[in-house]
Amino acid sequence: MNAVAVAARAKRQMRGPFAGNVVARLLALAALAAATVLVARVGGPRLVGAFTLLRVLPALAGVLVAAGLPTAAPYFLAAHPDHPALRQTLGALTGLGAVVATVVWLGLSPVLHRLFFSSFSPGVVLAASAAVFTQLFVAVGKSLLQGSGDMAGANAAIVAEEATFLPLYAVLLSLGRGTAPLLVAMVAADVAVAVGIGERLRRAGFFRGGPRVDYRLGREICVYGIRGQLGGLLSLVNLRLDVTILGGLAGPGVLGVYAVASKYAELLRLPGLAVNYVLYPAFTRDGAQRARARTRSLLPVVTGLNALGVIPLALAAAPVMLLVYGRDFDDAILPAWILLGGLVGDAAAELIGAYLYGIRRPGLNSLAIGVGVVVTVVGDLMLIPRHGAIGAAVASVAAYLTTVGTLLVCFAATGTDRTVGRADAEAVGVAGGRRRRRRGAGVGDVAGDQVGVARGGVGQREPAEP
């Protein structure tokens, strides 16, 4: 199959799931915006701050303590769908991670209260432990749908995660207007979404099989998750570090202007996020050679689409800023334009990231993002004191472009026959002979026996070599 045919087929296969995920993310953003407006009208900025913290911190705590399980689950489900203990092991890791994360949160509650919730009672932090427990089930549940190939279900869960909160909170407002109704609505929404995800997985036969849990497999999942989660954390740091440094060096007024510009420009990230979400498990199923061919063929496509997306967002920046935020935010227009220019390559970065995750090289993705973090810190310290929000925007652009460049180098470095062959071998357990002598087979063993090495045409599988 020539390169033109590969590109045409990749684009056809990607169009439907990609569009569905973008729509789901837009609907989720709209639901979150509506919820934020309602919370703001009920309790003002203070309650909005609590809402933001209670959405972010418990979820982050769960993912960290669970060793990046939401990151790892799609890979193992896509690479080893027939492993007899995989689903039971993922379920056990989810339950264990939720319990341990909740205990850790409770143990750190005095510190969390002092750092983040000092304007609220200590009881709020203790009660938020319930959100730690429930949000991990939602996060892992979405990943299970994603890794199982149920993109329609995953997209529905993305929307439901944000949309379910709004009616529940509106009903609970009759009980009060503090943090209690807010937190109860968040936990109840998590439970409702998690139950819905579980029922969809049950109908698809996800939970069939024996109760066996493979501890060696669990360790493999955790190691992969930690390697991938490092990149996720660094990405979050890279996106928010400039805000933190700007607030410290330039004050809240300049920070407010830049925060608006940054949020607006990040709308351009939606296509790239959808590309990563859809193609990460697909690349895992493809095997390294085909995943690489698809990535190469899609790089100019996603980059071109992202570049086209810059035009309407740049043209709409000024009227949107003035209409939504008022004349006080005139100074956000230029930083938004600068940031949009830097995000032109974001879809390419997400595409290569999906490829690296799919061939079991998440550490390279983390490395590239780490380089970007260094550029952010250096650029911010050099440019913010003199140029304020514009300096922060320029530093962010330099970091974005550096990350994309590093990812392109990583993509090129994984293109040799040796590295591609190694990725396929790791994915299916070609080197599993040594493990077979151990008691209890891990992923590599079962995959080497049952799945085989993907070679040749699409879907053609041969037995693994010894």
* Residue in the structure block whose two tokens are 């071998």: 425
Rounded to whole angstroms, the Cα distance separating 393 from 396 reads: 5
Per-residue pLDDT, averaged over 84-98, amounts to 93
The pLDDT of residue 95? 95
Cβ partners under 8 Å of residue 66, min gap 6:
93, 94, 96, 97, 98, 100, 101, 136, 140, 225
The pLDDT of residue 463? 28
CA 235 → CA 51, 82, 273, 346, distances in Å? 22, 32, 12, 12
The pLDDT of residue 170? 92
Contact 411, 404 (CB under 8 A): no
The pLDDT of residue 240? 59
The pLDDT of residue 18? 81
Please classify residue 136 by burial: count the beta carbons closer than 10 Å to its beta carbon, then call 0-12 exposed, 13-18 middle and 19+ buried.
buried
Least-confidence region, from 94-108, 137-151, 377-391, 423-437: 423-437
Rounded to whole angstroms, the Cα distance separating 71 from 59 reads: 13
302-320 pLDDT, tens digit per residue, is 999 999 999 999 999 999 8
Rounded to whole angstroms, the Cα distance separating 320 from 435 reads: 59
Decide if pLDDT at 405 tops 50. Answer: yes
CA 177 → CA 34, 130, 220, distances in Å? 17, 20, 46
Rounded to whole angstroms, the Cα distance separating 376 from 442 reads: 40
Contact 129, 105 (CB under 8 A): yes
154-212 pLDDT, tens digit per residue, is 999 999 999 999 999 999 988 888 889 999 999 999 999 999 999 999 999 888 766 68
Q: What is the pTM of this model?
A: 0.74
